[in-house]
Amino acid sequence: MFDIVTFFQLMFSDHTLRVVSFGTALVGAVSGILGCYAYLRKQAMMGAIVAHASLFGITTAFLIGTASLVVHTTSLKTDAAMGLAVAIFFGAGIALLRMIQSMSLVGHRGLRDYLFGQAATMTNADVRTIAVLAVCATGISLLFWKEFKLHTFDRDFAAGIGYPMHTLDQLLLATIVLAIVIGLRTVGVILVVSLLVCPAAAARQWTKSLSGMTALSAVFGMLSGIVGATLSAMVRNLPTGPVIALAATGFVLLSLFFAPHRGVIARALRRARNRKHLHPPDASSLVRGEL
């Protein structure tokens, strides 16, 4: 049993929890910011591709656009190319992992931490590394804010006025990859996509502007990291990474129900008001000449 008092007591008294919370908050914030572009471009699957492909050591290949190459050189659509990439590279990575485990090589147990994350063992040095990478990723997104925004919402117009679309594609992808690399230490290969997609999906329910969505997504990602790290510290044998992913999912569910314009409740109330105002007159009223 725990409460808000216990939460703050842990935050102020436990050095390890402060380190882990700060590190996961940074990861959540930068993932939320960059996840907005993947979400709006309907390329959220790209995060899963890069994360799962990294298990096989080919993240660099995606920096030069492996999925894009498949799309441009074959008749496959983008979503099919992404699914194919996940199947091939993640499958190859799992096969290689099983081979390593069967040979009982020194250090093979650490690969499980790579799959599922090990945020609870985060150190000050890890946080400093995360902070540097987070600043780089956020700085790139701010520096190229106008270009990324135009590239996301009107690609044809951006190409028409001379923007180098292929270069922007690769720069945005590389920045998203950087966010994924930051998240691997926290939630691992399998769950990192949740930090890339969930905060952005939750933020989209509350606002129509990209700036508002980006800010909210960063906040949701940051809170997911803090809540997940704290719950993991308060409940025995509760893994940090999966709890962070569940916290991010919780923000999505809350937003889907309670967002003021797009939420399920708001839409139900709006439909009820519309039915009330637009209800047709009954037959007896028409006979009496009443409207």
Q: Is 4 within the bounds of a domain?
A: no
Q: Is 3 within the bounds of a domain?
A: no
- pTM, two decimals, is 0.74
Q: Is 57 within the bounds of a domain?
A: yes
Q: For 55-70, how does the pLDDT look when each residue is reduced to its tens digit (9 = 90+)?
A: 555 444 443 445 555 5
Q: Is 2 within the bounds of a domain?
A: no
Q: Is 45 within the bounds of a domain?
A: yes
Intervals of the chain under pLDDT 70:
1-13, 44-117, 185, 189-190, 279-291
Question: How many domains, in total, are found in the chain?
Answer: 1
* CATH number of the domain within which 260 lies: 1.10.3470
The reported pLDDT for the residue numbered 291 is 44
Q: Is 203 within the bounds of a domain?
A: yes
Q: Is 1 within the bounds of a domain?
A: no
Average pLDDT, the chain: 76
136-175 burial, b at 16+ Cβ within 10 Å, e below that, comes to ebbebbeeeeebbbbbbeeeeebeeeebeeeebebbbbeb
Q: Is 106 within the bounds of a domain?
A: yes
Give the residue numbers spanning the domain of 132. Answer: 9-287
The reported pLDDT for the residue numbered 135 is 92
Give kind and range of the element (H or E) at residue 81: helix 78-102
At 84, the amino acid letter reads L
